Structure 1
Amino acid sequence: MDTDEDVTVAEFERLELAASEEVTVELINGRVYVAPMADGEHSEFISQVDEQIRAYRPELRLFHSPGLTIPADRACRARPDGAIAPSGYFRTQPPWADPAGVAMLVEVTAGRESDADIDRTEKRDAYAQALMPAYLLVDRHRAASTIHWHPADGSYRNTATAVFGCGLRLPPPFDFELDTSVFR
């Protein structure tokens, strides 16, 4: 593969099939990103988001690391840490699912600080280009959570951030304050 050019979906799919189960492989805006499997703290943070979503919106579920076809400017095959969608949404979806029924994507930073920039910018921008309604980032490196919503013209129009310990108001259809003290 020529690293100076975008990776095609076909090239990515071959690479993903050959990848170790100990890594997650994603294609974001034509570039391949490889991340190690989540650690325990990462999993706990996802679980905390799931519990709070279910408490306020019991008809919604947090699906862990689904494969999504993200229709951004360039090829994307993402495995967000979580996708919030109605119960049963993924039941009939193929391995790389259509994200049309997803209300919010969730990422928790992992690995090195430099790896976190992928979640902060690359994925945020791809999700906005794909008109994903909301994107929640739990940033362990900065001890803060950020919600992005109202995508238009390739970016999110609204953003709110709360340091761990402060509440973070989530937009409709969630419309509740996420307790970030559980991430401390």
Structure 2
Amino acid sequence: MTAISDRPQMLPEEFEEFARHLTQTALGIRLEFINGKLGIKPVPDGDHSMIIEWLTRICIQARPELWLYNHGLKIQTYRGGRAHPDGTLAPSGTVAGQGEWASTNGVLMVVEVTSYDSDTERRDRVEKPRAYAETGIPVYLLIDRDSAEVTVYSEPDGVRYETVQILPFGKTVRLPEPVGISLDTEPLKNWVR
């Protein structure tokens, strides 16, 4: 017997239609659908945007054949999830022709930058690592402004990431293959409260 909490709130197609209508009328939020549950993600603040700009510059300089997209992804085979990572590193042209919710084929890394809201713990530190690992995304980079740390998740096994590395802002972190980029995280100290 299936518990009520195990049932999705809606089908992925219903979520897409709902999100399309709400996005046209509501400012300041982005919708996600993870593990069968509807979630609301706040629109980034200025410091959040600076972190993404910083990371985009590094990625393009190190790997000019890649692009750091801000695009919705179809995640999880179970319950057909939809997520809006803050960044999706993939070969240039990967999202062409895919609409609002792109496949994860070709995605090398997803990036989340924590927001100062009550859902960060559940969303960015619990649900998303699991969802991205289940989807097989090779690297998940969490830039955690609350703890002033960078967490690199890698080696997904279909359930979880087998390797997790946590470093404080200011250290150099090597993003594992297939990304293969080093990040000097000292500038991140400028964009935290």
Both proteins in one fold, TM over 0.5: yes
**Distance between the aligned counterparts of 2:56 and 2:77, measured in 1?**
26
- Match status 1:18 vs 2:24: no
Residue aligning to 1:74: 79
Residue aligning to 1:32: 38
**Distance between the aligned counterparts of 1:154 and 1:74, measured in 2?**
14
Q: CA deviation at 1:113?
A: 4.9
Give the RMSD, CA atoms, in angstroms: 1.6
Asked if structure 2 preserves the Cα contact closer than 8 Å seen for 1:72 and 1:127, the reply is no
Residue aligning to 1:182: 187
Asked if structure 1 preserves the Cα contact closer than 8 Å seen for 2:135 and 2:158, the reply is no
Aligned residues: percent identity? Answer: 37
Secondary structure of 2:136's counterpart equals coil
**Distance between the aligned counterparts of 2:155 and 2:77, measured in 1?**
16
Match for 1:16: what amino acid?
A
Residue aligning to 2:117: 112
- Match status 1:53 vs 2:59: yes
- Which of 136, 150, 156 is matched with 1:151 structurally? 156
Q: How many residues align?
A: 181
Alpha carbons of 1:72 and 1:143: their partners in 2 closer, same or farther (altered >3 Å)?
farther
Runs of 4+ aligned residues of structure 1 deviating over 4 Å after TM superposition are none
Asked if structure 2 preserves the Cα contact closer than 8 Å seen for 1:36 and 1:111, the reply is no
Asked if structure 1 preserves the Cα contact closer than 8 Å seen for 2:151 and 2:166, the reply is yes
**Distance between the aligned counterparts of 1:181 and 1:10, measured in 2?**
42
Asked if structure 2 preserves the Cα contact closer than 8 Å seen for 1:83 and 1:106, the reply is yes
Secondary structure of 1:177's counterpart equals strand
**Distance between the aligned counterparts of 2:59 and 2:134, measured in 1?**
25
Match for 2:156: what amino acid?
P
Asked if structure 2 preserves the Cα contact closer than 8 Å seen for 1:161 and 1:168, the reply is no
Please give the TM-score of this superposition, normalised by the length of structure 1.
Answer: 0.91
Q: CA deviation at 1:18?
A: 3.0
- Match status 1:93 vs 2:95: no
Residue aligning to 1:126: 131
Alpha carbons of 1:169 and 1:157: their partners in 2 closer, same or farther (altered >3 Å)?
same
Please give the TM-score of this superposition, normalised by the length of structure 2.
Answer: 0.87
Alpha carbons of 1:94 and 1:138: their partners in 2 closer, same or farther (altered >3 Å)?
same
Secondary structure of 1:127's counterpart equals helix
Deviations 1:29-72 (A, max 9, x none): 101110221100111111111111112111111012x1111134
Q: CA deviation at 1:168?
A: 1.1
Match for 2:72: what amino acid?
G
